[in-house]
Amino acid sequence: MQKLQSSDNSGTRATRRGGHGRLVASTAALSALGLLAAAAGAAAANRPARSSSHASVTTITWEASPISTSGPDLRKVLIADFERAYPNIKVQLISAPTNTDTNESQLETQISGGSSSPDVFMGDVIWPAVFGAHGLAVPLSTKLPKSFFARFAPGLVAGATYQGKVYAAPFFEDQGFLYYRKDLLSKMHLPVPKTWEELKAESLQLQRAKLVKYGFVWEGADYEGATCDFMEYLTDAGGKVLSSNGKSSTLNTPAAVKALTFMRSLVTSGVTPAAITTYQEPQAMNTFDNGQAAFLRNWDYAYSASQSAGSKVIGDVGVAPLPTFQGQSYPGYSNIGGWNLYINPHTKNMSQDLTFINYMTGVDAEHVMATQFSEIPTNEAVRVQKSVIAVNPVLATVPHTRLVARPSQTPEYPKVSQAIYQNVNEALAGSESPAKAIANASAGINTALSGGGL
Amino acid sequence: MARTRVRKGWHRYLNGVTISTTAVAIFVLLPIYWLIVTSFKTPGAVGDNPPQYFPNPLSLTNYQVAFSQYTFGRYIVNSAIIAVIATFLVLGIGTVAGYALGRLPMRGKYPILLVLLMISVFPEVAVVAPLYLLLRDIGWLNSYQALIFPYTAFNLPFAIWILRNYMLGIPKEMEETARIDGASPLKTVWSVILPQALPGLFTAGIFTFTACWTEFLMALTFNSSNNYRTIPVGIALFGSQFTVPYGTIFAASVVSVVPIAILVLVFRKSVVSGLTSGAVKG
Amino acid sequence: MAALGVVPSTPAADRASSSPPAGKHDVNRKRLARLGWSFSTPAFVVIGAFTIFPIGFSVAMSLSHVSVSGSGFSLNGFTGHNYSILVHAAQWRYALGFTVVYTIVTVLVEVILGTCIALVLERLTKGRGLMMALLLVPWSMITVISAELWGYIYDASYGVLDQIFKALGLGQPIFLGTPTPSIVAMMVADIWKTTPFVAIIVLAGLVMLPEELYEAAEMDGASGWTTFWRVTFPLLRPTIALAVLFRVLQAFGLFDLPFVLTQGGPGYSTTSLAVLGYQVMFQDLNFGPGAAVATSTAVLVLIGCLLFLRVFKAQVGEEGS
């Protein structure tokens, strides 16, 4: 019995050994290939790609997320221009993730880990306090003269300041605009609305005439964008989030409740779809592009997006500053967005970094950004240039808008913003009354500012 | 004959089950259909409301954009290199360790197995920051080894468990016979145990490969350079701050699923037989 | 115990451990033990180098006051303060409850559905391989991509599911706007992705079952359902137990899906323990409590695993103690 078993086993063993042999061969081949590749990779990585030993040429690394969606890459175009102007400095581009939060946490991990790369990084306008408080960015005001900061549009430098030091150089700016369907407005002989109440009334008119499905789409999902939108209504109504010393919340006011009540009324009246609680920029843009909304509140990219292939509203879109509440002076406030340039405190190429920043925020680079890529320049001189104003309706509208920043002057800003957008979102969904939502938000802000909670 | 009788007895029961499981099969395949179909729409048509149920016109723009504008091809190569090497390392190191912990009299093997289990359940999120510091100190950031070795280390415990489980089911006289033939322990493992444990190897291999192929957090943190980026991180770069180019993302996804789908199709017998033999034999 | 001794084993002692004279046995055991250690050392070295330090550092962070700055991490003191923050934080308590409930529900549904699928597949003779390969495709998809796909399907503006609901006259629900629908939507996406995997594990177990059992049941006149419940299921238990173990381990570490699909929202309704840990550590730069979240999660999972293994010891293939 046992003998039969063993011969059985040896038989199977033999066949298995055959297949076994093939497995071995392929394992060896693949491992060898893999190890070769790893070695090549290691060798490539060890090849000095950064500060070379040549005294003349230095390479700095610039980390930035993709800016332009189609056509030539804005970052590469500017780098090429810079390298032409400064042949001694080469710039290596590192592409950052498009998701702002992932981008931020990756940078925080790298810099707090002591990495000297990237030398310069492009960061959101709401990061200066967080990065400054944790020593993750160089205070530029200690490295650059005051005259440097004079070139920027008013309000932008304040946004990059924390405790008296400026941590970033505004690179390109963004703000909220009102986009409208000029074909629909002209059909019904309606003017471009200057107040929110007017906008709501016109939307209802258009919807009743069955010309459009929704009146007004914007961003109301449970994310940072809702804070941006809310800031606009809040400031229009006369409210404020933080006290002047930034230590406590001044949110809980009738003005804030008025603002939020209006936002909720847009949903209850049907002007805005109930799904606004899930709308971020892509959804709002998509609804507008599909011709399903008469008005859109979005950032500057929305104009070119609405005029690109696949959109159903090509040629029908107008741009205007945002409306305000009745009784306030026009125009309403637009929330500031956009991106700044920061320097890594561990950088080994400080002077080259400063040169780079100086160029990128200078007239030439900003002009290219505006005219070729339709980005809103932060350089004041460029903003008012005739050639820039002529680029598209968005840039023509920029000189006529009023700006308000988010309350990002505190390192606890992420939690402050969260208190705002979570409660705004709940009010929009109808799970909280606007008054309750504002009260909760205010309480949440105070908890955040005192450093409490998880 | 017993088979037909069983089938008849099962038959009535089977019908209700068949219908519902056919429904489930459709449930499984429909999203995949949607994924593939969307990848072939023109970028403008991706956002249509109501959506196109079949692309009209069919377009390869998304694929072109993924590969030319976003250098997706390089990400595939990087992912493949890292996943393949890590898998082979795990299998090589894990097989001998699994053998030792399963069939050799080692003192303290149960505590060791427990520690291994503990390591494999520790959330990745907490480990990324310290690991980054470690890799930076060794100078391994932005390289293949930055991911290969952590992946190997974190997948080994699980693989050892699977391999050990599988080896427990091998009859004990295998080694005795080899011993009688005068084989050294290493040779015993190589020529006697390994062939028997092959399905277990395939199981551990596929698990490890898939884990490496799909890992996101470490790949994002350690390999920020475009030359070493892997697929999940590459996809995170598609679009810009306010646009999510679903068409391009899905085109890239289709391409990255195809190799695994082929692997699975080719090795399906081994995968299936390897998955639970150890457990059933006990 | 495997005995690589020179003494030939008798037929009667095929599977039992043979017992050569005491002296030789001890020497043998020691030699084998040393061999075992040398075989396992490479694994221990690799694992130790890349896991012990990070895990240890994390645990240390969870037990001290951590501050992060440009010059790195600094750990101060030895305190349970981080853990007390956790216990007092509604968010953490919610995340814990949510993760547990999520795990239970999804694993339960997946096991039931997976078993049903496996039962049907077992009957297929021709297309089985192809069917299995097709079923493994969702499982082999990168989780991030699967989450994007479902995000696209559920979307209020782009989504196809809304259109389907409208066509069926079920209104136009908002899937990701409020807590309960979001949780359900996420579960559906998870179940979609992993049920096939469970089905295949159960199928493998089913295929191993000997036919004689069915014959015996038939002869006893058992109906289909009784056969399944009395005969098949008890034998399938170890297979299912293994599938459940894998899945529970995975489900507890739930990260990619909520991170991409809902970002833990609305509010914190879909924030699992892993997502909470990420948010606290990387978005709030609060590494102490964040590490506490991670460490406590690991401990909880470990306890669960140990309990599970104790119950299913025999079936999951431990060597007879």
What domains can be seen in chain A, in order of their start residue?
Answer: 27-173+337-404 (3.40.190.10), 177-335+408-449 (3.40.190.10)
Residues C139 and C265 in one domain: yes
Residues C129 and C42 in one domain: no
Percentage of residues in chain A having pLDDT higher than 70: 88
**Does residue C219 surpass a pLDDT of 80?**
no
Q: pLDDT value at position A55?
A: 58
B225 SS3 class = coil
pLDDT tens string for chain B (282 positions)?
Answer: 444 444 555 555 556 656 766 776 788 889 999 999 999 999 888 888 888 888 888 999 999 988 887 788 899 999 999 999 999 999 999 998 988 888 888 888 888 887 887 787 777 877 887 888 788 888 888 899 999 999 999 999 888 888 887 787 777 777 777 777 777 777 777 777 778 777 788 878 888 988 898 888 888 888 877 789 999 888 877 777 888 889 999 999 898 888 777 777 777 666 666 555 544 443
Tell whether B215 is within 8 A of chain C (Cβ): no
Q: Write phi, then psi, for A222 (nearest 5 degrees).
A: -80, 65
* Chain A residue whose CA is closest to B141: A45
pLDDT in tens, A193-222: 999 999 999 999 999 999 999 999 999 999
Q: pLDDT value at position B165?
A: 77
Distance CA A171, CA A157 (A): 11
How many CB contacts within 8 angstroms connect chain A with chain C?
A: 98
Please answer whether residues C289 and A454 qualify as being in contact, where contact means their C-beta atoms are separated by less than 8 angstroms: yes
Tell whether C54 is within 8 A of chain A (Cβ): no
pLDDT in tens, A90-115: 999 998 888 888 888 888 888 887 88
Q: Which two tokens stand for residue B262?
A: 């082929």
Tell whether C8 is within 8 A of chain A (Cβ): no
C312 in any annotated domain: yes
**Does residue A226 surpass a pLDDT of 60?**
yes
Please answer whether residues B193 and B170 qualify as being in contact, where contact means their C-beta atoms are separated by less than 8 angstroms: yes
Q: How many CA atoms lie within 13 A of B248 on its CB side?
A: 24
Query: Looking at beta carbons, which residues of chain C come within 8 Å of A119?
Result: none
Q: What is the DSSP letter of B240?
A: B
Tell whether A424 is within 8 A of chain C (Cβ): no
Residue with tokens 């009688």: B180
A352 SS3 class = helix
C5 in any annotated domain: no
Query: Looking at beta carbons, which residues of chain B come within 8 Å of C277?
Result: 123, 125-126
Output the DSSP codes for C219-250.
Answer: HTT--HHHIIIIIIHHHHHHHHHHHHHHHHHH
- Among partner residues A101, A111, A223, which is closest to C70 by beta-carbon distance? A111
pLDDT band at C320 (very low <50, low <70, confident <90, very high): very low
Distance CA B45, CA B59 (A): 10
Residues C42 and C110 in one domain: no
Tell whether A252 is within 8 A of chain C (Cβ): no
Residues C171 and C60 in one domain: no
Q: Do C157 and B101 touch (CB under 8 A)?
A: no
Name the minimum distance, in Å, from the CA of B184 to any CA of chain C: 10
Q: What is the ipTM for the molecules in this complex?
A: 0.80
Tell whether A134 is within 8 A of chain C (Cβ): yes
Q: Do C71 and A1 touch (CB under 8 A)?
A: no
Give Cα separations from A428 to A420, A421, A441 (angstroms).
12, 10, 14
C272 in any annotated domain: yes
- Among partner residues C49, C119, C204, which is closest to B153 by beta-carbon distance? C49
Output the DSSP codes for B69-84.
Answer: IS-HHHHHHHHHHHHH
Q: Do B195 and A17 touch (CB under 8 A)?
A: yes
Q: Do B81 and A286 touch (CB under 8 A)?
A: no
Tell whether C223 is within 8 A of chain A (Cβ): no
Q: What is the DSSP letter of B193?
A: I
Query: Looking at beta carbons, which residues of chain B come within 8 Å of A99?
Result: 236
- b/e burial code for range A359-368 (CB count within 10 A of at least 16 → b): bbbbeebbbb
C1 in any annotated domain: no
Residues C304 and C232 in one domain: yes
Q: A25: exposed, middle or buried (C-beta count within 10 Å: 0-12, 13-18, 19+)? A: exposed
Q: Do B2 and C218 touch (CB under 8 A)?
A: yes
Q: What angle do CA B130, B131, B136 make, to 5 degrees?
A: 100
C2 in any annotated domain: no
Residues C170 and C62 in one domain: no
Q: Which helix (H) or strand (E) holds C133?
A: helix C128-140
Residues C70 and C171 in one domain: no
CA B144 to chain centre: 18
Query: Looking at beta carbons, which residues of chain B come within 8 Å of A6?
Result: 177
Q: What is the CATH number of the domain that holds C146?
A: 1.10.3720.10
**Does residue A297 surpass a pLDDT of 90?**
yes
Q: Do B29 and C120 touch (CB under 8 A)?
A: no
Query: Looking at beta carbons, which residues of chain C come within 8 Å of B257?
Result: 137, 140-142, 145
Domain count of chain C?
A: 2
C125 in any annotated domain: yes
Please answer whether residues A136 and A111 qualify as being in contact, where contact means their C-beta atoms are separated by less than 8 angstroms: yes
**Number of neighbouring beta carbons within 10 Å of residue C153:** 22
Distance CA C119, CA A131 (A): 57
Tell whether A5 is within 8 A of chain C (Cβ): no
* Chain A residue whose CA is closest to C259: A102
Amino acid identity of residue A421, one-letter, is: Y
Q: Of the candidates C78, C102, C128, which is a domain's last residue?
A: C78
Chains that touch C (3 or more CB pairs under 8 A): A, B
pLDDT in tens, A255-290: 999 999 999 999 999 999 999 999 999 999 999 999
Q: Which of residues 30-59 of B touch C (CB under 8 A)?
A: 31-32, 34-35, 38, 46-47, 49-51
Q: Do A277 and C174 touch (CB under 8 A)?
A: yes
Q: pLDDT value at position B275?
A: 54
Q: Do A286 and B47 touch (CB under 8 A)?
A: yes
Tell whether C79 is within 8 A of chain A (Cβ): no
Q: Residue C47: which domain range?
A: 18-78
Residues C170 and C281 in one domain: yes
Distance CA A248, CA A234 (A): 17
Name the minimum distance, in Å, from the CA of C169 to any CA of chain B: 15
* Chain B residue whose CA is closest to A66: B240
**Number of neighbouring beta carbons within 10 Å of residue B29:** 14
Distance CA C214, CA C225 (A): 12
Residues C97 and C238 in one domain: yes
* Chain A residue whose CA is closest to B171: A9
Q: Do A112 and C70 touch (CB under 8 A)?
A: yes
Query: Looking at beta carbons, which residues of chain B come within 8 Å of C241?
Result: 279
- Among partner residues C43, C53, C144, which is closest to B94 by beta-carbon distance? C43
Q: Of the candidates C78, C98, C118, which is a domain's last residue?
A: C78
Give Cα separations from B178 to A63, B188, C250 (angstroms).
59, 6, 39
Residues C272 and C187 in one domain: yes
Residues C257 and C142 in one domain: yes
Residue with tokens 């989504």: C159
Residues C169 and C118 in one domain: yes
Judged by phi (left if over 0) then psi (alpha if -120 to 50, else beta), residue A68 lies in: beta
Distance CA A161, CA B11 (A): 75
Rg (CA), chain C: 25
Which pTM does this prediction carry?
0.83
